[in-house]
Amino acid sequence: MINVTSLKNSRLQSTDFNNLPFGMVFSDHMLICNFKNNSWGPIQIKEYGDISISPAAQVFHYGQSVFEGMKAFKDSTNNILFFRRDENFKRINQSAKRMAIPEISSEIFYDGLNTLLKLDSEWCKSDPGFSIYIRPFIFASEPCIKASSSNEYTFMIILSPTKTYYSDPIHLLIEQEYSRSASGGVGFAKAAGNYGASFFPTNLAKKKGFTQVIWTDSKNHTNIEESGTMNIWFVIDNILVTPKLSDTILGGITRDSIIKIAIDLGLTVEERDISVDEILDSSNIGTLSEAFGTGTAVSVLPISSITFKKDKIEFNNLESIALKLKERLLSIQKGVDLNNYGWIDKLNIN
Ligand SMILES: Cc1ncc(COP(=O)(O)O)c(C=O)c1O
């Protein structure tokens, strides 16, 4: 059962779609569903706005919270195309399990998304470059400051219209001191605390003029893991190389999609350990031709430079494989390329 209270005056007309700072503009409605007495209650969809929450809610004290980041697009006939949302559904429940949060049912996720996106479909423009960023999240909401897992949770979905922008060149610093995650920890999950813990070292790098850090393994800082909210890729000897997944790396849905698209484009893909030394050596001998990141928010993003101590590797990104992969990914996401591996889930709006 979905309880819908739609608002009377949409904010659509007063929203400037040519100026959408990422993650700061939200659609008219949001979804809320509460977990209490061992079960998830009815889904409510209502006007987007502030919520009331106890200062004792466990999420504020112990950080029990997970989220997802996914996108939907509009095709030329104005229908909504969800991109690989089954993977986001799987991943939010994997993250939830690791954080001792009760999993959500497929009804809550899919029926909730369908109803919300139908209501706010106008917030997703069909013009090139536009999409809607979908943020499902779950947090511990029981008012109790005892250090134990919560008995109450809140699941919400909010929607943020976005436009792919041509970002400034990205300059990355290989992190040598701090770690994003450690083996046995929660690095593979989209747990809120992973991001909170990453901001301090990232800000240190930003102060030195870098865009982001490249995380290395927490034991020795010798192997490359990922960067910011992106999985990372290198082209070495014309082979596409990306770190193999482990419990310290978030298994990106874009990463998985790029592996399949790249193989179909005739490229060789290797998922394996990549050491900082290998990157420096292959750059020195001229076999490292490009590097890029992949993620829902950035799609496929060419990297302009990578710095390690006194060494700086620069890429010119002229004939980039990254841009070819991005083009194919976007044409699948927009419903133009129908050879889409079954990744598109269409919601008829008309
Ligand atoms: C830490 C981290 N790595 C990688 C990714 C890329 O994952 P995806 O392609 O599923 O967006 C993200 C973004 O979700 C992330 O937060």
Indicate the SS3 state at residue 344: strand
Q: Does 214 fall in a domain?
A: yes
Q: Does 345 fall in a domain?
A: no
Contact between 20 and 163 (Cβ < 8 Å) = yes
User: Is the model's pTM score more than 0.85?
Assistant: yes
Q: Does 344 fall in a domain?
A: no
Which of 250, 242, 225, 228 has the alpha carbon at shortest distance from 94? 250
Same domain for 139 and 255?
no
- pLDDT attached to residue 153: 98
Structural domain containing residue 152? 2-165
Same domain for 207 and 270?
yes
Single out the residue in 165, 195, 218 at which a domain terminates: 165
CB of 229 within 6 A of ligand 1: the answer is: yes
Q: What is the DSSP letter of 291?
A: E
**CATH code, 123:** 3.30.470.10
Whole-number Å distance, alpha carbon 253 to ligand 1 midpoint, is: 7
CB of 161 within 6 A of ligand 1: the answer is: no
Lookup result for tokens 């929203």: 15
- pLDDT attached to residue 322: 96
d(CA 222, CA 194): 20
Can you list the pairs that 151-155 forms with residues at least 24 positions away whose Cβ atoms lie under 8 Å?
A: 151/36, 152/34, 152/35, 152/36, 153/34, 153/35, 153/101, 153/102, 154/32, 154/33, 154/34, 154/35, 154/51, 154/53, 155/31, 155/32, 155/33, 155/34, 155/35, 155/40, 155/104, 155/108
Same domain for 9 and 141?
yes
Whole-number Å distance, alpha carbon 225 to ligand 1 midpoint, is: 12
List of the chain residues with pLDDT < 50: none
Indicate the SS3 state at residue 72: strand
Of 90, 198, 257, 296, best ligand 1 pocket probe by most atoms within 8 Å of the beta carbon: 296
- pLDDT attached to residue 16: 96
Same domain for 302 and 276?
yes
d(CA 312, CA 309): 8
Tens of pLDDT along 1-22? 899 998 889 999 999 999 999 9
Same domain for 179 and 313?
yes
- pLDDT attached to residue 8: 83
Same domain for 225 and 199?
yes
Single out the residue in 117, 149, 165 at which a domain terminates: 165
Same domain for 52 and 150?
yes
Per DSSP, what are the bridge partners of residue 306?
172, 313
d(CA 282, CA 262): 21
Same domain for 155 and 185?
no
Same domain for 227 and 314?
yes
Q: Does 268 fall in a domain?
A: yes
Q: Does 23 fall in a domain?
A: yes
**CATH code, 175:** 3.20.10.10
Same domain for 146 and 181?
no
Q: What is the DSSP letter of 191?
A: B
Of 214, 230, 255, 259, best ligand 1 pocket probe by most atoms within 8 Å of the beta carbon: 230
State which H helix or E strand residue 300 sits in.
strand 299-308
What would the 3-class secondary structure string for 219-262 be? CCCCEEEEECCEEEEEEECCEEEEECCCCCCCCCHHHHHHHHHH
* Nearest atom within ligand 1 for CA of residue 297: 11
Q: How many domains does the chain have?
A: 2
Residue 112: both structure tokens together = 């909730």
Q: Does 259 fall in a domain?
A: yes
Same domain for 176 and 267?
yes
Same domain for 285 and 327?
yes
- pLDDT attached to residue 133: 98
Q: Does 63 fall in a domain?
A: yes
Single out the residue in 137, 165, 193 at which a domain terminates: 165
Q: How many CB atoms lie within 10 A of CB 279?
A: 22
Whole-number Å distance, alpha carbon 294 to ligand 1 midpoint, is: 8
Q: Does 324 fall in a domain?
A: yes
d(CA 207, CA 194): 21
Q: What are phi and psi of 304, to 5 degrees?
A: -90, -35
